[in-house]
Structure 1
Amino acid sequence: MVWDTLSAVGELVGAFAVVASLVYLATLIRVQNKESKIASMHEISIAHREAVAAICEGPMADVFAKAMKDFDSLSSADTLRIIGFVYRFFKI
């Protein structure tokens, strides 16, 4: 009779341990998913900021200004730069 009682108590403790470990793992997975979403949003924000900075600085600003006025008057190299920029910007 004592062994039966000890066996039942042991099974009960084991069941609680399994449930507790599942709750712990679910909490860890939820936190990891939140951190992953935050990290991906941060990367998107950095990429967007770099893309906008590429328009505002250097020779790309001149090419972009020319493209806004008359896209057909751009040289082949400038057209390629604009297309590459637009591809990169929309890929973000």
Structure 2
Amino acid sequence: MHPLMYTCIHTYIHTYIHSFIHSYIHSFIHVYFASLFTSLTLFYLLSALFRTLCLLNLVALFLYLCLLNPFIHFLTCLLLCYSDIFGFLSHFTVYMLN
């Protein structure tokens, strides 16, 4: 398999599984359980940033698959990293509010 094709497939699978499933399904579950708390401003802010970064990651992935630009591939990895950070912070906020 050509390395570029392998990179495209790897990036697509990793981004789809990590960003889409973890962002939308997982965060909606946390929003449901977090509704038990009273002060959720920080949680909702971090969750919104988390979902926005994952959505931007999917847009960057689409651009990468269209343009096959290595910089855009780097951007998708960077967005994945930041979405993980905000995902962790949103989880941490829930535990602190509990």
TM-score range, shorter chain: 0.3 to 0.5
Instruction: Please report the TM-score for the alignment, with normalisation by the length of structure 2.
Output: 0.37
